[in-house]
Amino acid sequence: MADLKKLFTTLLVAVIVIGILYFVVGNYGFVFSTSVDGTIVAVERVTPPVAIVNNGSQGSMSNNGMFSFAVAVRDSKGVIHTASSEDRQWAVARAGNCVTATFFPYAPWNLKKEGTYYNARLDQLRDCKDASMPATAPVAAEAEQGQPAATPASAQ
C-alpha cells in the first residue's frame, strides 16, 4: 500500500511539473514580459498607409499587416527598447511622448530572434512636457497667431 501511495505521489508531482513547464513554454512571452516606462524615440509604420484593393486572395495583405508599427522607447537608464507591434494604439503615439509599454520577448529557443521583442503593448500614453513650461503655452501660441483658442470638450 505504501508503494502505491508513493507511486501516486510521484505521478502527481510529475504531472504538475509537466503542466507548469507546458504553460511556461507555451506562454513564454507573457510570462517573461517586461514593462518599460520611458519616452518614445520613434514610432514608424512598417507598411505605408496606401490604398490597397483587397479581393480576399492569398497574396493580399492582412488587416494586421496594415497596422504594424516599429516602436522604440528609451527608459530612465538610457536603454532603448525596440519591438514590432500590431497594436493600433501606437498610431496616435508620437516621438517625445511618455509611455508605459509592455514588451514581449521571443523565446530563447528561437535562436534567430532570441533577445528581441515581438510585440509592444501600449499601456499608457502621457504628454511629458517640460515642467517649466506653463500648461497653457500651446493655447497662448495659437491665440498669438490669430487662431481662436481651443476650448476643452467639457466646457462645450
**Which stretches in the chain have pLDDT values below 70?**
48-66, 130-156
**Residue 135: predicted pLDDT:** 40
**Residue 74: predicted pLDDT:** 94
For 8, the domain range is 1-31
- Per-residue HEC secondary structure of 97-147 comes to CEEEEEEEECCCCCCCCCCCEEEEEEEEEECCCCCCCCCCHHHHHHHHCCC
Say whether both 43 and 118 belong to one domain: yes
Backbone angles phi, psi at 125, to 5 degrees: -120, 125
Say whether both 123 and 76 belong to one domain: yes
Q: Are 35 and 105 in contact (CB under 8 A)?
A: no
Say whether both 70 and 3 belong to one domain: no
**Residue 52: predicted pLDDT:** 55
- pTM for this structure? 0.65
Chain-centroid distance, C-alpha 60: 25
**Residue 29: predicted pLDDT:** 82
